[in-house]
Structure 1
């Protein structure tokens, strides 16, 4: 080099067996093994610190004590401060949620699932007036069927949290991931039996009536709607039966249900009526709905207020019976009681096709 001869003494290099690379499947999230880790080594936990967080898992009920048949809404929330969003991530959430929902089941209740939770949190203030972000993970409304108390076990949720580098340098890995488990304490909801007589639907209800038309004549059909609106178990609310009345034919009802804001509902029962006699028709003499109001702890009754005046001549009421029925009686007498093959209609269609083909040919 530059006209001079340079010499170097020889050396020996010992080559051993290659060590297996670390198993990336067992690494914590965010700590996968890469080429930089193999060259410089994995991040050393002693160089990182865990910043505090205010994350909390909570199982909350809107009431501590309910009556049999009264709904109690239970939600599973995760709270954290806005500044904690950079430190925490949900981990394997779908599998964890499946197990949490299994633990929330109550065999002595009728359960109604809440709408799917929003992926976006809402902002709330907790004790001390501090602002938190609240994620609703799951929600159910439970209607107890017995007076056995509802027992919810303690729940756990594992999240990914990040430790931060104590002395960050350009090019360094500034975060180290690890798992952190948050726990919600067990929850108990007491259940009270209904006072005597005890046989009634339970809820906070009001009556919404409706009728088709303003003038009514004998022999003409009209509809009456008995609508129940409020808070309660809509499944337990069945159609009330109209009391029989001479000279009044009743058909139905048809049922319609719709959800309203704030967890309320409206369930409507629509009856079709035909009056055969003139006079005043008071619907409170036909239908009423007794219920137990858990807020006032008293029994009450939904009573219609509508009254209609039916005009026109009195009409004869034909009582149908199999003996004098002009069609069904003779038809049933002549009917063949022998069982027919389910394929008979296909065979008739096949024969008809052959007949048409023969006529066209």
Structure 2
């Protein structure tokens, strides 16, 4: 027995070392599984950039403000003043991403992007102040941006006609046919390419030219313009709403199917004659997977440079003629007024074409004072063409009695489709302006030796009769209406009727709220029944989708609007404003976030997890119904 002691000691030491190692491994694993409670300060990055940063007066540019936050939530973004620029468009996006670490801690990456489409209004070095952001109550500030705006050379000197040389930057002249339509086969790229076209390459000055930008793609991603198309020398109007999602169509190029999106369609009206160039846009596309996750790759594609020849109007047409197809009419609200009163003279010009720069002055009218006109221009889109309606209202004050004429207005019009010149004319309107007593004053009153009312024209018989009384005073023998008992009844009818109307309105609203509450409860029950069916069938994705639909339907009823498009912060603020308890709001938001992640988590398919999710949803919906019932009482 004594001989076995040296062998047993090393074994015991080896076992102790193994036990210590095992305990260390368990402690490390336990520490890794415990969520970290230390909250690091959020990482905030504020960027502002102008593309391009050197423009001329009247040229468009894109100004973007981007706030990226890791580990925090954006409370608000304070945008700087854009003095010196006209805002043509504004887009806002707020993407949010969630990442999970080994310790079970979720990392929130939030962004807020503001994209402005601007037009430079005056020359000089324009300084845009630094944007500011408030993140988790703390204030952060970006950097200012300077943009060099040069004067428009086309306004300082007559335009110089460029020589028709072929572009050397890979423009579209090599692929553009006589109608200005680029061949997509010549622009082919296996993944994505950009196509820019014009409907024609020769127009009259002032006539509409349609410029289109189309994206051909076989990959998923988020496109944005880093450089806007250069349309200097044109008056522009968007033909599609750039804030709305674009429609998709399919097209085959070189045997390869592409998804085609029309990104921009612009009506361009040339403002000067000669050869005008349209500089190509540049588009950057951040690729993403089918689930919307970023792949970390950005593609850049450039459009094609186009040119258009702008013809002057024919020699017989005045240079100030309208270009398009219009109708003209004029009217007054009344033709007979007294001295000191006013009337409204309205001139309406409408039709196909551009009327943005047209003013309709009135000549000096004797005896009338014309105030500054009120101009109302409305632009609409019809069949891919811009239709304008210009309504000009003149307020005219009568200063002298008489019968003056409002002269006819004449406007020359040139129709570029038929190349026909014509004149639009309004009707002449005669006014009847009377003196303050209401007597009509003819424009050429007859002259007479004596007036019929003069003393010389009164006969002796009329003098003996004296004056006639044209109105008799009658005395009422009965009491007046205010002195009768019926007057008190008449006084009581309006307040009683008003009270009855208020009661009826309250009763109808109460009945409507009760019916709506019962309908919501039935909707909750239907969605919960659907969730229970999904649970029985072990359909985890269907279960979580049905639970999310039930919770959103309940919140829609409380807020009166669709809550699916709200961010979590917006939903939190809206529910707090409506008066929901803070603990209920926190549980609702946590449950919605958990439902979003449960659809992609393997552990969420476990039966006990699905049972707990269904139980939590029933409890939350019961509390929401209790809140609604208390609010309706």
Shorter-chain TM band: 0.5 to 0.7
Correspondence for 1:66 among 196, 203, 207: 203
Correspondence for 1:134 among 243, 261, 273: 261
Contact preservation (8 Å) 1:65, 1:191:
yes
Contact preservation (8 Å) 2:278, 2:305:
yes
Q: Distance in 2 between matches of 1:224 and 1:146?
A: 34
Residue equivalent to 1:226: 347
Q: Distance in 1 between matches of 2:411 and 2:227?
A: 39
Q: Which has the higher contact order (CA 8 A, sep 6+)?
A: 1
Q: Distance in 2 between matches of 1:248 and 1:286?
A: 16
Correspondence for 1:199 among 310, 315, 319: 319
Q: Distance in 2 between matches of 1:249 and 1:159?
A: 60
Q: Distance in 2 between matches of 1:256 and 1:176?
A: 49
* Higher-Rg member (1/2): 2
Q: Secondary structure at the match of 1:149?
A: strand
Contact preservation (8 Å) 1:55, 1:79:
yes
Contact preservation (8 Å) 2:200, 2:209:
yes
Correspondence for 1:313 among 430, 441, 454: 441
Q: Distance in 2 between matches of 1:260 and 1:154?
A: 27
Q: Secondary structure at the match of 2:392?
A: strand
Residue equivalent to 2:242: 117
Q: Distance in 1 between matches of 2:376 and 2:288?
A: 52
1:165-184 alignment to 2 at 5 Å? 178-184=297-303
Q: Which string of whole-angstrom CA distances, capped at 9 and with x for unpartnered residues, describes residues 295-329 of structure 1?
A: 2222222211364563721479xxxxxxxxxxxxx
- Structure 2 gap ranges (5+): 1-7, 15-99, 103-188, 434-439, 445-633
Contact preservation (8 Å) 1:124, 1:133:
yes
Q: 1:155 to 1:255 in 2, by over 3 A?
A: closer
- Structure 1 gap ranges (5+): 9-33, 37-51, 165-173, 317-361
Q: Distance in 2 between matches of 1:221 and 1:178?
A: 68
Q: 1:133 to 1:259 in 2, by over 3 A?
A: same
Q: Distance in 1 between matches of 2:238 and 2:360?
A: 23
Q: 1:158 to 1:253 in 2, by over 3 A?
A: closer
Q: 1:134 to 1:163 in 2, by over 3 A?
A: closer
1:295-334 alignment to 2 at 5 Å? 295-305=417-427, 307-308=429-430, 310=432, 312-314=440-442
Residue equivalent to 1:16: none
Correspondence for 1:151 among 265, 277, 280: 277
1:235 equivalenced with 2:356 (yes/no): yes
Q: 1:144 to 1:313 in 2, by over 3 A?
A: same
Instruction: Tell me how many residue pairs correspond in the alignment.
Output: 247
Residue equivalent to 2:413: 291
Q: What is the alpha-carbon root mean square deviation over aligned residues? A: 4.2
Contact preservation (8 Å) 2:206, 2:269:
yes
